[in-house]
Every structure is written in structure tokens, then in C-alpha cells.
Structure 1
Amino acid sequence: MQQHYFLGIRIPADVQPLAEKYMDLHMLSDRYKVVSHPEDLHITLFYLGACDERKISKLVTKLCSVAAEHQVFSIQVDGFNFFGPSTGPRVTYLSVTKNLMLDRLQKSVSDAVKSVTGLPSADRFVPHITIAKKRKTDERLDLSPDLFSPHTIPVDHFHLFAIHPQQLPKYKPVASFQLGHDR
């Protein structure tokens, strides 16, 4: 089977207590098949899926240039939310405040991926940090979005991650791209 990849921003360990709060409050580990390992917390910029080494090599070169064009910035984690109905959402996550610099980085990454691989760009970018996904029970839930004081995270680089579904953590960085620096 071909290696699968994605591009993303790793989330620092100091955000883990926020994720744990909602995992405990809503008993997410009892209700979801996939609960994010603390080292796997991230914001996906682009999911590549299966990709051969030749394309990965070209993409790494292209992304070095993309990273050099973007300055360091900060994002804010500001709440708990979900995709799907509140009675049984398919994904629960920590939300990220709208951020123009993050949106621009994601667009540049998406354009780079498209130019190298031909993969289509995602229609819309909803930055989030998944904490649990794939329901394992039919139990009716009663979740509601929750806002909290924004937690600031500096963003000075992003990674190309290889996905290893049978390991913990599942996501291993295979390349890093420093913002604002030529390689």
C-alpha cells in the first residue's frame, strides 16, 4: 500500500489540556473510535492521500518556496465545536478563530499541491483541531458548542506528515517548512 500524507500545522502540547477537558466532559473516548493522540493534534492544510516519492520530492521543493513567502503569525484556539448533528456529530474539534494569514497560507499550500499533483483544491477551509471522530455508539448525545478565552499559538512552520494508522502517534513529520526563511 502506498504511503499516505497530509500537510499541517502541529499543535503544541500546552493545548492538550483543552482537548482533554472536552474529551472527559463528553466522554468522547467511550463514544468515538478515533481519539487524537496528544502528539497528533494538528490543523490540516491539505490532505494528500496516497502519493509517490517523486511527487513528494517535487512538492517539498515547491513548499520550501511557499513557506519563504509567508511570515510567522499566531492563531487562536477559542472553543469546542463539531461537524454534524449535536445528537451524534461525526467529528468533534477545538475551533480556531478566523485568521487571514492562516487562510492565505492554506491557499498557497493548496495551489502548490495542485500544481505538483493535479489534486483539486478543497472548496472551503475550516481550520480546526480534531479531538475525536468516527462514532462507535448510536447513543444520542447532547453536545453544544462552547467558547473559551482564546489560547494563542505561534505558527512559524508547517509539516508534511506521513500517516501510520497502526502506530501512536499516527502522524510522523517527514519534512518541515519554516515560514519566512529561504532554505
Structure 2
Amino acid sequence: MKQQHYFIGINVPTFISEQSVAFLEANKDDFPFRVWTHMCDYHITLAFLGAVKEEKVNKLAQELVEIAKNYKTFKLQVGPLHVFGVKERPRVVFLQVSDEEKLAKLQKEIYEKCVQLGFSLDKRPYHPHITIAKRWNGESPFQFDRYMNKEIVTQEENELTISKINLYMIHPNSVPKYEVIEMFSFS
């Protein structure tokens, strides 16, 4: 039987994804990416788990209940556009997320618990972000200087209230792709 893919993350409200999608649509000629994130799939990843057995995910879910109990609601700011990869042909364009100390602590605790439970996770430093498009497909270079650090979410609506974490299952052939299978509310 094929194993499902999972990740742990934070949902992003539609008022943010709507503004982002509207911006991309208005500037689509300058954003020839192969993949645009569906507005219902906007999230902040805390740990990508990959393909794992359901029993292992269930054990992790029990631990996430306990982790979530130790946190209270906090706020994050959604920032401007930026990229991962070569600026002329980026592999990912994303919205920056404020490097809030509480988010970093939460991510580290989840990461360490996943490693304890035997999950093999990405070892690169954590950079919280909201992916909006991937896989550059343009003939000419990306207009990095024109778009980088451009605020596309209004100042009035760039604040996220974080009160829970989610366990997502990935459905690669569906739109949207990500299904919340369990939520873990903060105390």
C-alpha cells in the first residue's frame, strides 16, 4: 500500500491568499511559474514529514496535542515578496513571514519531537514563509528588482493570529492539494 505524504503547518486566512492571487493574476505575464499555489493551500510549513505510515503519524498527533497545550495565541506579520533560488530563475517565490520568537520556538519543538519519533526531516535552517508560486518557466529573467520586497498584502490585513497548528495530508493530484486531517489548538 502506498504511503500518504504529510506535513505540519499553520493555515493562512483567505484574506491573505485572495490578495496574493489577485496580485499574481494582475501581473501574470511577469510570473511564468509552472505551479501557482491554490488559494486554499496557503500555509506556513513547520515540518515536512514526507511519506510515512499512518501509525507513525498517529503517534506524532498525540505528541502535537501536548506541544500545542504549551502555547498561547500569538501574532505574525506577513511581509513582502522574496525568492528561493537564483534571482533570475527562482525556484520559489514567497511571502515573507516575520521571524517571531514564538514561531521559531514552536517550530524547533515540533522539529525535535519529529526527529525523536524517527522522522527524517530537512536539515536546512528554518525560514518561515508562504509559498505562492514554484518552478520558474520563463524565457527571460525574473524581474527581481521590480518585485522583490514588494508588499502585496495591505498593511491593514498583514497580521496573522496563530492559535493552532494543523496536520495536513497531501493529495498531489487534487486541487486544492492539502487537507487538514487534525487541528491542535493552543491553550
**TM-score, normalisation: structure 2:** 0.89
Superposition deviation, residue 136 in structure 1: 2.6
**Which residue in the other structure is 1:175 paired with?**
182
Q: After TM superposition, give the deviation of residue 30 of structure 1 in Å.
A: 5.9
Change (3 A) 1:107 1:140: same
RMSD (CA atoms): 1.9
CA positional deviation for 1:141: 1.6
Q: What SS does the aligned partner of 1:146 have?
A: coil
1:146 maps to 149
Residue ranges of structure 2 left out of the alignment (5+ in a row): none
SS of 2:86's partner is coil
| Match of residue 34 from structure 1 | 35
Name the structure 1 match of 2:105: 104
Whether the 8 Å contact between 2:164 and 2:186 is mirrored in structure 1 is yes
**How many angstroms does 1:28 deviate by?**
6.7
TM alignment of 1:3-152, pairs within 5 A = 3-24=4-25, 26-27=27-28, 31-120=32-121, 122-144=123-145, 145-148=148-151, 149=155, 151-152=158-159
Q: Deviations over 1:101-159 (max 9, x none)?
A: 00011011101111112424633110000000012334322123124337101000011
How far residue 26 of structure 1 moved from its aligned partner, in angstroms, is 4.1
CA distance in 2, matches of 1:28, 1:2: 38
SS of corresponding position for 2:112? helix
Do the aligned partners of 2:93 and 2:132 also contact (CA within 8 Å) in 1?
yes
Aligned length: 180
For residues 38 and 121 of structure 2, the distance between their equivalents in structure 1, rounded to whole angstroms, comes to 29
Higher mean Cα deviation, 140-149 or 41-50? Answer: 140-149
Percent of aligned pairs with the same amino acid: 29
